[in-house]
């Protein structure tokens, strides 16, 4: 499995209504063994999470199911990461 860093930056229109569903989604990924770690930035501008997936297309599919992505309140970037 490869590791992918999902970087999330809040848009200026961010309302936060999807945060509870986002956290539930991440908890589901954690229970499945897909999510390695996650957290918000101290300055409240967004956050990041690290997932394991077969390839970048699968990692992007996981992101597209994230409720905050669906609500289009944040900008998401997915990068393959050579984390040790």
Domains of the chain listed by start with CATH number: 2-80 (3.30.70.1060)
- Quick check: 84 pLDDT over 90? no
Q: Which residue has the tokens 């394991």?
A: 52
Q: Model confidence at 83, in pLDDT bands (50, 70, 90)?
A: confident
**Per residue in 19-58, pLDDT tens?**
999 999 999 999 999 999 999 999 999 999 999 999 999 9
Q: Name the more confident of 3 and 84.
A: 3
Instruction: Note whether 3 and 36 are within 8 A (CB).
Output: yes
CA–CA dist 22, 48 (Å, integer): 12
């Amino acid at each position: 499995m490869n590791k992918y860093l999902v970087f999330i930056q809040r848009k200026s229109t961010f309302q936060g209504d999807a945060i509870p569903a986002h956290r539930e989604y991440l908890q589901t990924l954690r229970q499945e063994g897909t999510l390695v770690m996650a957290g918000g930035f101290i300055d409240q501008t967004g956050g990041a999470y690290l997932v394991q997936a077969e390839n970048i297309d699968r990692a992007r599919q996981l992101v597209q199911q994230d409720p905050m992505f669906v609500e289009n309140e944040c900008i998401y970037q997915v990068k393959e990461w050579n984390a040790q």
